[in-house]
Amino acid sequence: MNKTIELAEEHLLHTYNRFPVVLDYGKGVKLYDTDGKEYLDFYSGIGVHALGYDVEEYKDALKAQIDKIIHVSNLYYTDVCAEAACKLTKVAKMDRVFFTNSGAEAIEGALKTALKYAYNKDGKNDHEIVALDHSFHGRTCGALAVTGKAAYREAFEPLISKVNFANMNDLQSVTDAVNDKTCAIILETVQGEGGIYPATKEFIEGVYKLCKEKDILLILDEVQCGMGRTGYMYAWQQYDIVPDVVTSAKGLGNGVPVGAFMMTEKVAKNSLVAGDHGSTYGGNPLVCAAVSKVLDLFEEKKILENVNTVTPYLNKKLDELTAKHACVTAHRGMGFMQGLELTVKPGDVVNKCMDKGLLLLTAGTNVLRMLPPLVITNDDVDKMYAILDEVLTDMD
């Protein structure tokens, strides 16, 4: 293990502060390092492994596609890409999809869509975007521009079009940020990196109404909160809205690098055309085989039903931890996207839990975040509770 860590530190660009663990393989909701130590996974590769690890049907679908063809470029049709697009737009309740390689790329495409939509209306290129403080949309320049944390942006400015920032769940602040140049409002239906803040029904439906009144595109970033994590295929589907553009990634491929941005037919007909956007690898046969199989398995394994069945128990146990421990000041979340607000450093809690065989992660500055695979059971929740309870007891 130490040799691998030393080799990585010598050759990889140091943009991550990695944990001193070399993970080797996974099974179900467990991960194992190269020394054979077992970990209960409550972070799923930052929300990626929706189905867990070592899923035979999923692996077989990828192996079969590898035996056929991995890549052809988007200059040609493939049956597997068409099938994945059909299945995804159906469950997402959107009309058109563009497959990308990541969530950040999906955000880039969504922003370009909004800018082109506005340009087609008035022929001007001075449009502005409204985004939210404490949001996180990715590390590329366009995604950074709408990420609501100045420290992420400062070294790389100037970025894209002017962005005006408003506050989550504060409709008046969004209204005040909109002007006659605003072409889009972008927000996470549930803020992830910012500290696990779900949008309230009143807020998101109010933003939607504002967008409709002014013909502003509503872009919902569901890279982290989408794909069943909240108990809905996409979190916005619990509200009385239909966004114009939706981004997706993470659980969409269960481990392969794939993202997507989707839109309504109206937006598609009035925005990007041939030559406006592209991706050499985006939507290649291998990742589309993964997407197609993931969507099949969501239905076959009743993934949404499991999330909705286990969530009340998960909430109950997290509420118990909140009531029991002085260092826990709040619990919030939705489905399998949960956070505990702490008075101690959440990174210290993560490290202590990892030592005891539980993998968690942080959010914002003081939140312990949980993004388990969507196949966890009540028994897994109990195991998580036992370890976290022990760690928090030592830190109270």
Same domain, 325 and 285: no
Beta bridge partners of 188: 221
Structurally, how many domains does the chain consist of? 2
Q: How would you write the pLDDT of the chain (396 residues) with one tens digit per residue? A: 999 999 999 999 999 999 999 999 999 999 999 999 999 999 999 999 999 999 999 999 999 999 999 999 999 999 999 999 999 999 999 999 999 999 999 999 999 999 999 999 999 999 999 999 999 999 999 999 999 988 889 888 888 879 999 999 999 999 999 999 999 999 999 999 999 999 999 999 999 999 999 999 999 999 999 999 999 999 999 999 999 999 999 999 999 999 999 999 999 999 999 999 999 999 999 999 999 999 999 999 999 999 999 999 999 999 999 999 999 999 999 999 999 999 999 999 999 999 999 999 999 999 999 999 999 999 999 999 999 999 999 998
Q: Give the whole-angstrom CA distance, residue 34 versus residue 44.
A: 18
Q: Which of 270, 285, 300 is the last residue of a domain?
A: 300
Same domain, 311 and 293: no
HSE (CB half, 13 Å, CA atoms) of 368? Answer: 31
DSSP 70-111: S---TTS--HHHHHHHHHHHHHHT-SEEEEESSHHHHHHHHH
CATH number of the domain residue 343 falls in: 3.90.1150.10
HSE (CB half, 13 Å, CA atoms) of 50? Answer: 34
Same domain, 295 and 248: yes
Q: Which of 252, 268, 300 is the last residue of a domain?
A: 300
Same domain, 47 and 92: no
Same domain, 30 and 132: no
Which two tokens mark 25? 């393989």
Same domain, 223 and 345: no
Say which residue the tokens 């077989």 belong to.
Answer: 60
Same domain, 107 and 199: yes
Q: Which helix (H) or strand (E) holds 350?
A: helix 346-355
Please give the pLDDT value at position 161: 74
